[in-house]
Structure 1
């Protein structure tokens, strides 16, 4: 069997050689070799273009995410400045509630109600995206984006904790009857927990503002109002931030005065 195959190959050899000489004589060898080269180059060019297109898409996606994160940091920076004003007002009130729980101070019913405050948002980026941002915009830029948004996320969670803890103060509201000793104990415990939450919020706010400044993220889209100018103004109107439609032409709140409403009852 092997001998027969060998004989066939030996017989085919001269024919193949003759065919090759014929192609070369007619100038067909170059064409014969050129076609696979063209096909290979075409495949390589198509692959290169596809890689380039995917790279451009990745770059555009990364840049869109970066801008969204910077914008969120700017917004968080404005809200953080707002909380730097709000936190001392809340801390003072928590102290008053703790004293009242021990019978050492009176409780202002209006100040048992939590004023409205601004919320915050955060954009969390994946590690790969942050790595790309660091390559294109610098490690400090990427680190500030990550830190500002991480701290904004922590601030969001602490705001929720603040809201939850504040509910206990309704136990001391005289509109709902005379508080029992257990009500005062519960309110005192909640006030102590809120003081811890406020300490964390203070750190979050300071860190957010520092990184927002590094990013030059000014959050201009939320400058359509103002914070309350004093703790008294905040408690009087039950709002720590006044939107533009909450203010009159002289920049004074047009919201209901809670103390006036209380006296009218």
Structure 2
């Protein structure tokens, strides 16, 4: 068998066939590599388009959050003043009326679910400084979201000062005083986090959204009268 192979090779046909085989293999390998390069380019392009869209969405959202943070800046002193009033009532023998106990909801803002890979791409496309600022913004948005939920929950304890159901007990007054202390602490953290959001947005070059659907109330009286911690363009009657 080996003798037959040697004869076939020595005839020249083997060398010609081998050269043809090498040529065809080279062409195939080049085609495979080219296809892989095209596939990688398309994948990278798709990822870049995705992260560019994510970046634009984040900047638009941050512009809205700057307006919402403005409403918090006006509302927080109003909550603090009302909590102090309720603390004084709780420390006396008086009861509070329903208007004093009412809570005016804040406008909501919260974090987005950005994956580790998306953060990596943001850093690659826009720089580590921008990626870090966006990450810090998301952290503070999550903190604000949790603090607003907790503020709603703690404020409900002031209902124990409602004298409509009878005499307010000493235990109810103690619980209301404790709620006032918690509210003040929550408001301090909320003010700090919303200011950080404003600072990060300024550092990212994000302006306030033009023609927003909400704006700050003019004063505390408006906030308690309307029952909202912001002006809602869609509810002008409030």
TM-score (normalised: structure 2): 0.89
Deviation of 1:182 after TM superposition, in Å, equals 1.4
Q: Please tell me whether Structure 1 or Structure 2 has the larger radius of gyration of its CA atoms.
A: 1
1:173 and 2:132 correspond: no
Corresponding residue number in structure 1 for 2:55: 66
**Would the alpha carbon gap of residues 209 and 116 (structure 1) be closer, same or farther in structure 2, given more than 3 Å must change?**
same
Of stretches 66-75 and 204-213 in structure 1, the one that deviates more from structure 2 is: 66-75
Corresponding residue number in structure 1 for 2:120: 131
Deviation of 1:219 after TM superposition, in Å, equals 5.0
TM-score (normalised: structure 1): 0.81
1:244 and 2:236 correspond: no
Counterpart CA distance in 2 for 1:148 and 1:168 is 31
5+ residue gaps, structure 2: none
**What SS does the aligned partner of 2:234 have?**
helix
1:198 and 2:187 correspond: yes
In 1, are the aligned partners of 2:90 and 2:161 still within 8 Å (CA)? no
Corresponding residue number in structure 1 for 2:171: 182
Counterpart CA distance in 1 for 2:109 and 2:93 is 36
Counterpart CA distance in 1 for 2:18 and 2:79 is 89
In 1, are the aligned partners of 2:75 and 2:229 still within 8 Å (CA)? yes
Of stretches 207-216 and 193-202 in structure 1, the one that deviates more from structure 2 is: 207-216
Deviation of 1:106 after TM superposition, in Å, equals 7.2
**Would the alpha carbon gap of residues 102 and 214 (structure 1) be closer, same or farther in structure 2, given more than 3 Å must change?**
same
In 2, are the aligned partners of 1:75 and 1:218 still within 8 Å (CA)? no
Structure 1 segments (4+ residues) deviating >6 Å: none
In 1, are the aligned partners of 2:83 and 2:180 still within 8 Å (CA)? yes
What RMSD over aligned residues (CA atoms) do the two structures have, in Å? 2.3
Corresponding residue number in structure 1 for 2:36: 47
Of stretches 146-155 and 99-108 in structure 1, the one that deviates more from structure 2 is: 99-108
1:17 and 2:9 correspond: yes
Residue of structure 2 aligned with 1:146, choices 135, 152, 160: 135
Question: Looking at both structures, which has the greater relative contact order when contacts are Cα pairs under 8 Å and sequence separation is at least 6?
Answer: 2
Corresponding residue number in structure 2 for 1:84: 73
User: What is the CA deviation profile of residues 104-139 of structure 1, one whole-angstrom value per residue up to 9, with x for unaligned ones?
Assistant: 887454121101221112114233322321222122
Counterpart CA distance in 2 for 1:105 and 1:232 is 22
Counterpart CA distance in 2 for 1:54 and 1:139 is 22
**Would the alpha carbon gap of residues 145 and 222 (structure 1) be closer, same or farther in structure 2, given more than 3 Å must change?**
farther
